[in-house]
Structure 1
């Protein structure tokens, strides 16, 4: 007899239905210590062998704390809204045969399908063994519910069910009763969503950041992430995820790519072919006249662990002008941070001097164009249209700030110059 997890894959001719993927911003292809188990840089959502979705059913109004505990010990999913010490509203959820539910959060408990930890700007992150201290990501941050039938619509909701199949909104959490009588609320630091205008294409423009409630309604942002007062209901918008939608969990931002969107996205093979094409053109350092070469995709995804040397073929760039060189140690303008202010030998422009790394997470590309532009100040290289797209997106930072960042390492982009067009010198012979 097949186990439930094998049913969907038993027929060799039948491909499992893929709803889409969630990709964490800040990781250039994999986590710093490698992807392991449920903790990885991207998570694919496939149709489950057996539906595990739930939908609201019975509502209980309880006047003693003990009564809510009795409800919580049942085998049904439920959401508890604590209104006061004497009153709790418990909404029970029943099985929904038409949907699959996937849960995302910081907890490593069983109900979490995709474990997400705080992203450290610059491409670092929590390692498997690092204890998380003062994380702002909720242990049970959100859930994505996908319809099991075409068009496989995916919807996002704030909060996830814990090991007891419960979601608890305590006295301090923002919660309310809607005009139609159903309860709703927000999580402590909130789940923010931005749907791009025009999908995830070359013509896309950033949308507006909104907050998603526990029941999936859309609200304008609170004054700060954890403010007690909710924003205004935006009835014209929904919690349906689109290709390119961004989900922010206050500590990590995820990109949603639909199965169809991924079909039109460059593959790892395509990016590798572009890398080989760049190297085949034999770009040279205009001063040392040595041939340059972009490192392997595997090394690019571990960029922070690599320290380029003078003998290395690694390309470096003067970001202020875009002239690509090999590594050298002259032209310093500052003793304290030697690479922060360097004078380009080609044009005498002064600015940061950094190594170039290919962006090798395909999901972040909006086209299949050649890698011609680098983000400033990190030096991650991608296509021009992808660089321009991400440079326009204000990503949440902390509890109330927003700024554009490189999708490959989440380094904040320079306000005055967010990207640089690269100028390579070809071989002289």
Structure 2
């Protein structure tokens, strides 16, 4: 009977004379069985809890996907606007990040699209912030890169930065100034919520200029520092260290010449066309310090100064978009926004003369020299007249669809969108002296020289890989890319390669 019930019962009647040991053995057996049953109940209870948790997680995931599906349907319902040329263009409110040149790559607006599928609240927050990016001030593009940094655009370090109207204004304006003997102990310096600029006159005297919040402007800061106040991190740019030579060592310069907090831009929220540039930017404590050796002056009870290496700007004369502008003059902008002629040297103590007929308002095509990197400012109005990245890619596809052939090797050539993105056999090369395009071959290579003789016209000269200039902000007009820059070989339109802006 005991064996059929599935457990073992000791024989209480097989007594060898020690009844006490038998009783103790039986008691221990039943006590162990009770403990095992209790553990089994806890195990079953734990599995029930795990089952309900997994069921709840699965239900939440299904609900999230349903919410995202609803958001995507709402985005598709956004109306299209008609451009000047009569073509339809999707409203920027419905453009996902990464689809066009108008994408928001500001660190305050950068979101991971894949994260939307993990949490519905994150998707709704992404959609809300993207809706607040309807007003675009312009773009800052670093010269020397063909639309991307060699290691890749990551975080706030990118080849360009798009300035959008912020959900909440963060601009500042000048409030008051006063003289202190110990600037390090000043309340304005110690208060991390107060924007201030300290002009050190001597060891025992400094002028503190306090700034208050400005609800009419948005502030964007550029510099080498990776601290939070910097919106656009800019590093030194070396010639040839872009896509042509991404492995160029950046450590060859012992010390960077770009300031950690190089400059700041204040954009007018009521008039997006007005964006002013100022030298120096606020640090993590919302302070700007101009040391005792920095160039500074005081006129009409107002103090101003220049940074060590300075911030230079050059406005084009005429319309940049269209290729009819001529080159202006390099000017230096001060911490307070004044415009001056250049100093005798980059870090000279004596400031230049005041330029009355120019201001610090950025124009479409303005160049900004940070002493180590040069930025190009493109206004939103100018970019609307320029080709988009999609337009440039279509031009490349149209050329490749014609299946151009090398006249020597008779193989099909493919123009890459990025350097070294195609095989060596399909890569086209351009002879810089004559402009003929051919594939890679050994014909006409001269010994002990870095030149080749073109088999079409027998002109000897250097050759370089032909690649499409894919950054739309550099284009001054729209058209076929029938010209190339020398000596890099990037293709673009005729006015972009040979603009009046450069020739003059």
What TM-score, normalized by structure 1, do the two folds share?
A: 0.82
SS at match of 2:498: helix
Q: Which has the larger radius of gyration?
A: 2
2:305 aligns with one of 170, 173, 185:
185
Counterpart check, 1:197 vs 2:307: no
Contact 1:8–1:16 (Cα < 8 Å) also in 2 = no
Contact 1:119–1:252 (Cα < 8 Å) also in 2 = yes
Residue 306 of structure 1: CA displacement?
A: 5.9
Residue 67 of structure 1: CA displacement?
A: 4.0
Residue 390 of structure 1: CA displacement?
A: 7.9
1:72 aligns with one of 185, 189, 194:
189
Which consecutive residues of structure 2, in runs of 5 or more, have no partner in the other structure? 1-107, 110-123
| Distance in 1 (alpha carbons) for counterparts of 2:274 and 2:467 | 36
**Structure 2 match to 1:329:** 442
| Structure 2 CA distance for partners of 1:12 and 1:285, relative to 1, 3 Å | closer
Contact 1:8–1:48 (Cα < 8 Å) also in 2 = no
Counterpart check, 1:60 vs 2:170: no
Counterpart check, 1:377 vs 2:487: yes
Q: State how 1:317-356 maps to structure 2 within 5 Å.
A: 317-335=430-448, 340-356=450-466
Contact 2:325–2:500 (Cα < 8 Å) also in 1 = no
Residue 12 of structure 1: CA displacement?
A: 8.2
Residue 199 of structure 1: CA displacement?
A: 2.5
Q: State how 1:26-425 maps to structure 2 within 5 Å.
A: 26-68=144-186, 70-74=187-191, 75-124=193-242, 133-178=254-299, 180-201=300-321, 202-295=323-416, 297=417, 300=418, 303=419, 309=424, 312-335=425-448, 340-389=450-499, 392=502
Contact 2:221–2:232 (Cα < 8 Å) also in 1 = yes
| Distance in 1 (alpha carbons) for counterparts of 2:273 and 2:493 | 30
Structure number with the higher helix fraction is 2
Relative contact order: is structure 1 or structure 2 higher (C-alpha 8 Å, sep ≥ 6)?
1
| Distance in 1 (alpha carbons) for counterparts of 2:330 and 2:312 | 6
SS at match of 1:269: helix
Residue 100 of structure 1: CA displacement?
A: 0.5
**Structure 1 match to 2:31:** none
SS at match of 1:265: coil
SS at match of 1:119: coil
Deviations 1:197-224, CA, capped at 9 Å, x for gaps: 1131221111111111001111111112
Contact 2:216–2:269 (Cα < 8 Å) also in 1 = yes
After superposition, the CA RMSD in angstroms is 2.5
| Distance in 1 (alpha carbons) for counterparts of 2:215 and 2:126 | 15
Contact 1:7–1:49 (Cα < 8 Å) also in 2 = no
- Greater shift, 75-84 or 273-282, is seen at 273-282
| Distance in 1 (alpha carbons) for counterparts of 2:141 and 2:366 | 11
SS at match of 2:383: helix
| Distance in 2 (alpha carbons) for counterparts of 1:249 and 1:176 | 22
| Structure 2 CA distance for partners of 1:210 and 1:117, relative to 1, 3 Å | same
| Distance in 2 (alpha carbons) for counterparts of 1:294 and 1:348 | 24
SS at match of 2:128: coil
Contact 1:119–1:126 (Cα < 8 Å) also in 2 = no
| Distance in 2 (alpha carbons) for counterparts of 1:183 and 1:209 | 23
Which consecutive residues of structure 1, in runs of 5 or more, have no partner in the other structure? 395-429
| Distance in 1 (alpha carbons) for counterparts of 2:180 and 2:283 | 21
| Structure 2 CA distance for partners of 1:331 and 1:390, relative to 1, 3 Å | farther
Structure number with the higher strand fraction is 1
Deviations 1:33-74, CA, capped at 9 Å, x for gaps: 111111111111111111111111111111234444x43012
| Distance in 1 (alpha carbons) for counterparts of 2:397 and 2:126 | 38
**Structure 2 match to 1:418:** none
SS at match of 2:260: coil
SS at match of 1:321: coil
| Distance in 1 (alpha carbons) for counterparts of 2:285 and 2:132 | 35
| Distance in 1 (alpha carbons) for counterparts of 2:327 and 2:144 | 18
Aligned residue pair count: 377
Contact 1:155–1:239 (Cα < 8 Å) also in 2 = yes
| Distance in 1 (alpha carbons) for counterparts of 2:475 and 2:466 | 17
Contact 2:143–2:375 (Cα < 8 Å) also in 1 = yes
Residue 15 of structure 1: CA displacement?
A: 5.4
